[in-house]
Amino acid sequence: MTGPPSDTGAVERSEALALHRTMVMIRVFESRVEELFSAGKLPGFVHTYLGQEAIAAGVCSHLRPDDYITSTHRGHGHALAKGMAPAALMAELYGRADGACRGRGGSMHVADFSLGMLGANGIVGGGFGIATGAALSARYRESGQVAVCFFGDGGINKGTFHEALNFASVHRLGVVFACENNQYAQFTARQRTTAVDDLAVRAGAYAMAGETVDGNDVGAVAAAAARAVDRARAGSGPTLLNMETYRFGGHYVGDAEVYRDASEVDEHRARDPIRRWEAVLAERGWLEEGERAAVWEHAAGVVDEAEQRAEAADLPEPDSALEDVFTPVRSPPVRAGAEVGSDGRGEAPETRRMTFGQATVDAMARAMRSDASVFTLGEDISWGGNFGQFRGLVDEFGPSRVVDMPISEAIIVAVAVGAATAGLRPVASMSFVEFTLGAMDEIVNQAAKFRYMFGGQVSVPMVLRASDGVLRSSAGQHSSSLEGLFTHLPGLKVVAPSNPADAKGLLRTAIDDPDPVIYLEHKKITAQRGPVPTGDHRVPLGSAAVARPGADVTVVSYSAMALNALAAAEELASEGVDVEVIDLRSLVPLDFETVLESVSRTRRAVVAHEAWRFGGLGAELAAQLHAELFGELEAPVARVGAASAPIPFSPPLEAAVVPGPAEVAAAVHSVLA
């Protein structure tokens, strides 16, 4: 796997010595971390970079300060090589308030966005799409930045590996995919899980450059990285580097390592990348023994100081635990009914009748005209999308801002996350809401958690559009309402408009929002027409609407079910029942004050949604209402929702499972009885 040291003729003396210093710093830091963890001083888990130092040092030596990297759970070496201060890294491992991520990320999730380090990722292969999205942002902004995605050989079998390489190659993006092939995916040898021996051959499937490198020879690594980075920066596309190396320790500190023989470890330790490089430097007369010792002593001093500072540093205050879930909003949200029209003063604006879908196109076009960082990506969107919600945008903005994507939901979302963290405002289309399930890692573990996990260093300003709900016997895989899933996830905002005006206003606001927003557009109402403000209309997130005032009972709903609630209210009015209908519009943040004020007056409530009743958002609303108004309600809160079955195809079966106006009216009667 690793032969004698390569010719260092292409490496200048200053560069060679810098590579040595970086590797030694990583080695000393990681060795001390191993000791500290074994002594019980560090919480959580630790995966050290011992034995792989040549890769981080060699690759990062060719990166600009503003170039991007994504890292892995074994990311300390990448952080140090990219320029993170050892003190900030050590403090993070201790869980201290002045750690790189304020103690919120720990060993597996270190990041420094000021250095272009877009986070170490505890999810294997989590960086593929994020690095690709950052490279797309760099291409779009013409910044000349490149992105490096570090990953282990275990990640090469992930679906997102193939999705990312395909997309990066199609668009000739400036990404270097650096595989740290340390021969083991956790506890399993590579040969037992991977069909090819030379991992670089996989580059050929995507028409990109590929190269296998002795990852324990920092000179060879630096030379290969220079070629790949130059290729990326010149606009010549991505590269896959297969860096063959070996980790000295187990998968994590404390790993019993029963899966590999001690003789194998000893054999590879004899190819120590630092000792090999020191031999090269000594042979060339570039490093005397005293100079070598001084490098190690200096690193030991820096690490010792970092340890002492971390030991003495304060732990985070418990009352700060909820900070950084969302980006702070500078101005308070506008209260219900005070939407901002084209004049910006809340006055009634001029309107024009249009469909729900046309309203979203209007919102998209206005956002893209006013902010060059806004772009949209998804399947078939240059053709208008499944419901015409992107129709005509490519004609005005071109394919660089209306990006047709492969049928690869995970890479759509991951690219959006990477682009969002690198300066753009992506609007990603998932087509049908069920398709988000193919990207749940990217939604749940990346988009939703980045801001909090990395200590508030970054926001993720992206919108994820998805068509949800039941439409004409579209059956189980195209009829779901999954808002309860998304509202359960801290870090995501969720909106679900019921009419064209709100569709435009909420989408316009969502695009401007600094956090990830799930925008749910019900398939049944995309053709619905209604008056829509013609100007730059916005509806604030966290602002419910009183869609119909009433005095006898409150029905709380959203999306298509809000229309069913209004229909039921009109029917009940003929019976002398005065129903107030609250259209939530925004589910996270939730305008519970408007709901509470209404139910405090009517003292009866029904919560209705098309999603499954069991475990749905209605249960949360009912629980909150009972907690706030216990003893004041005239009847328990009633809930309306779909029965617990996948949505069936046959019309009578669908009608038996999915609620409509009749079920809402029946629930109102039940709380009035």
> So which residues are the catalytic ones?
409, 478
Question: What's the distance, CA 520 to chain centroid?
Answer: 18
Name the strand (E) or helix (H) holding 56: helix 53-60
Furthest C-alpha separation in the chain: 98
Q: Please identify which residue in the block is written with the tokens 């001029």.
A: 350
Token code pair at residue 401: 């801002």
Name the strand (E) or helix (H) holding 82: helix 76-82
3-class DSSP assignment, residue 547: strand
Question: How far is 18 from 621, CA to CA, in rounded Å?
Answer: 59
Q: Residues of 194-223 as b/e, b for ≥16 C-beta within 10 angstroms?
A: beeeebbebbeebebbbbbbbbbbbbbbbb
Provide the residue type at 206 as one letter. Y
Name the strand (E) or helix (H) holding 651: helix 651-657
Provide the residue type at 263 as one letter. S
Question: How far is 54 from 272, CA to CA, in rounded Å?
Answer: 9
User: At 210, phi and psi to the nearest 5?
Assistant: -140, 145
Token code pair at residue 65: 């300060």
Question: How far is 572 from 669, CA to CA, in rounded Å?
Answer: 9
Residues 608 and 584: beta-carbon distance below 8 Å? no
Question: How far is 511 from 375, CA to CA, in rounded Å?
Answer: 10
Q: Is 455 exposed, middle or buried (0-12, 13-18, 19+ CB in 10 A)?
A: buried
User: Where are the alpha helices (H) located in 488-616, listed in sequence order?
Assistant: 500-512, 559-573, 592-602
End-to-end CA distance of the chain: 79
Partnered with residue 204 across adjacent β-strands are none
Question: How far is 553 from 98, CA to CA, in rounded Å?
Answer: 52
- Kindly report the number of other CB atoms within 10 A of residue 234's CB atom: 11
Sign of CA dihedral 242, 243, 244, 249: negative
User: Where are the alpha helices (H) located in 402-499, listed in sequence order?
Assistant: 409-421, 440, 450-453, 483-487
3-class DSSP assignment, residue 557: strand
Question: How far is 192 from 451, CA to CA, in rounded Å?
Answer: 37
Residues 458 and 501: beta-carbon distance below 8 Å? no
Question: How far is 617 from 130, CA to CA, in rounded Å?
Answer: 31
Token code pair at residue 541: 């997130």
Strand ranges across the sheet with 579-583:
545-548, 579-583, 553-557, 605-612, 638-642
